């Protein structure tokens, strides 16, 4: 049995006292914590450590929380990380701007550690259910013979049938293996990144980058099942510049690293054949 490691939380907050209170409080609850004193460092640490969740202040010097969220949502490696804003303002315009950029939740300061823990629990539970869904779907497929053209059949089930977004999904399907981002999709379909993000999220409940990553993960599972390619070869074939980024993203979506997923698939398939 694989032992689950502590959830990793990134706190981006320019006020040192607030940041340390949250870091200490979360550590006391068993979380692995990372602190960043501004948005630029926060982005760097998010890319380096691949946290399970990001908590970010809105008002910060040099780069505010909106800028941080926008940058994280444009990168495939950080696009699906749950993101919670901390803000001293509860204005509707501020809330709307954050949600349009893809924020998952808002907490108004002053905020207690207990309020923060509750918000984190809700977000992580939602992420966990998503992972369980994908893993259950994979396990269900293991009980069936592997089709000769698994990759094509997988792609057919990834995207919903939404006429308004057909051009978006067609572009992702044709280019997901080339390292595309939200900006590439937006340019291809003639919309601004912000408008396209809002449009896709309203219709599907997912971000554009989220759909790109889902398509890559579907292809990754097929390659792990059907080929002997190394993790480095698979990550390169799917448009990742770094195999570590691919492995972290795969673990976020499937709950386990790709090499472990392949071994479990092989064991389950072997036991199915024996039965």
The mean pLDDT value for 175-188 works out to: 90
Give the model confidence (pLDDT) of 74-110 as tens digits.
876 787 788 999 988 766 777 777 777 778 888 988 8
pLDDT for 130: 58
pLDDT for 60: 93
Contacts of 198 (CB under 8 A, 6+ apart): 100
For the chain, give the mean pLDDT: 82
- What does the radius of gyration of the chain's CA atoms come to, in whole angstroms? 19
**Which of 6-10, 64-68, 88-92 has the weakest average pLDDT?**
88-92
Name which of 257, 255, 220, 249 is nearest 81 in CA terms: 249
pLDDT for 235: 92
Residue 228 has pLDDT above 50, yes or no: yes
Q: Contact 200/158 with Cβ under 8 angstroms?
A: no
pLDDT band at residue 191, thresholds of 50, 70 and 90? confident
**Which of 59-73, 74-88, 144-158, 256-270 has the weakest average pLDDT?**
144-158
Letter string b/e over residues 210-231, b meaning 16 or more CB atoms within 10 A of that residue's CB: bbbbbbbbbbbbbbbbeeeeeb
Residue with tokens 């592997």: 146
Residue 133 has pLDDT above 60, yes or no: no
Domains of the chain: 8-123 (3.40.50.2300), 143-274 (1.10.10.60)
- CA pair distance 262, 138, nearest whole angstrom: 11
The number of residues making up the chain comes to 275
**Which of 17-31, 86-100, 141-155, 250-264 has the weakest average pLDDT?**
141-155
pLDDT band at residue 131, thresholds of 50, 70 and 90? low
The percentage of residues in the chain with a pLDDT greater than 90, rounded to a whole number, is 39
- Cα 92 to Cα 54, 95, 98, 200: the distances in Å are 22, 5, 10, 21
The mean pLDDT value for 11-39 works out to: 95
- CA pair distance 260, 138, nearest whole angstrom: 14
Residue 155 has pLDDT above 70, yes or no: no
Q: In what order do the strands lie in the sheet with 83-87?
A: 32-36, 8-12, 53-57, 83-87, 105-108
pLDDT for 127: 67
Residue 149 has pLDDT above 50, yes or no: no
pLDDT band at residue 215, thresholds of 50, 70 and 90? very high
Residue 268 has pLDDT above 80, yes or no: no
């Amino acid at each position: 049995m694989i032992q689950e490691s502590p959830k990793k939380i990134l706190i981006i907050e320019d006020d040192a006292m607030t940041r340390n209170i949250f870091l200490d409080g979360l550590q006391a609850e068993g979380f692995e914590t990372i602190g960043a004193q501004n948005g630029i460092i926060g982005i760097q640490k998010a890319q380096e450590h691949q946290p399970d969740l990001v908590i970010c202040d809105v008002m910060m010097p040099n780069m505010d929380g909106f800028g941080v969220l926008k940058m994280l949502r444009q990168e495939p490696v950080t696009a699906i990380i749950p993101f919670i804003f901390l803000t001293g303002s509860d204005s509707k315009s501020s809330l709307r701007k954050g949600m349009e950029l893809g924020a998952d939740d808002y907490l108004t300061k002053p905020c207690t550690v207990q309020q923060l823990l509750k918000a984190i629990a809700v977000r992580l539970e939602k992420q966990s259910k998503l992972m369980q869904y994908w893993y259950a779907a994979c396990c269900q497929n293991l009980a069936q013979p592997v089709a000769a053209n698994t990759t094509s059949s997988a792609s057919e089930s990834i995207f919903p049938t939404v006429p308004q977004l057909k051009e978006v999904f067609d572009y992702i399907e044709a280019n997901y293996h080339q390292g595309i981002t939200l900006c590439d999709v937006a340019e291809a379909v003639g919309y601004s990144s912000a408008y396209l993000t809002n449009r896709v999220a309203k219709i599907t409940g997912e971000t554009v980058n989220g759909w790109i990553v889902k398509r890559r993960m579907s292809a990754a599972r097929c390659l792990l099942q059907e080929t002997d390619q190394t993790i480095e070869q698979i990550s390169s074939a799917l448009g990742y510049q770094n195999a570590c980024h691919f492995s972290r993203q795969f673990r976020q979506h499937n709950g386990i690293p790709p090499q472990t997923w392949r071994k479990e698939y092989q064991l389950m398939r072997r036991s199915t054949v024996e039965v």
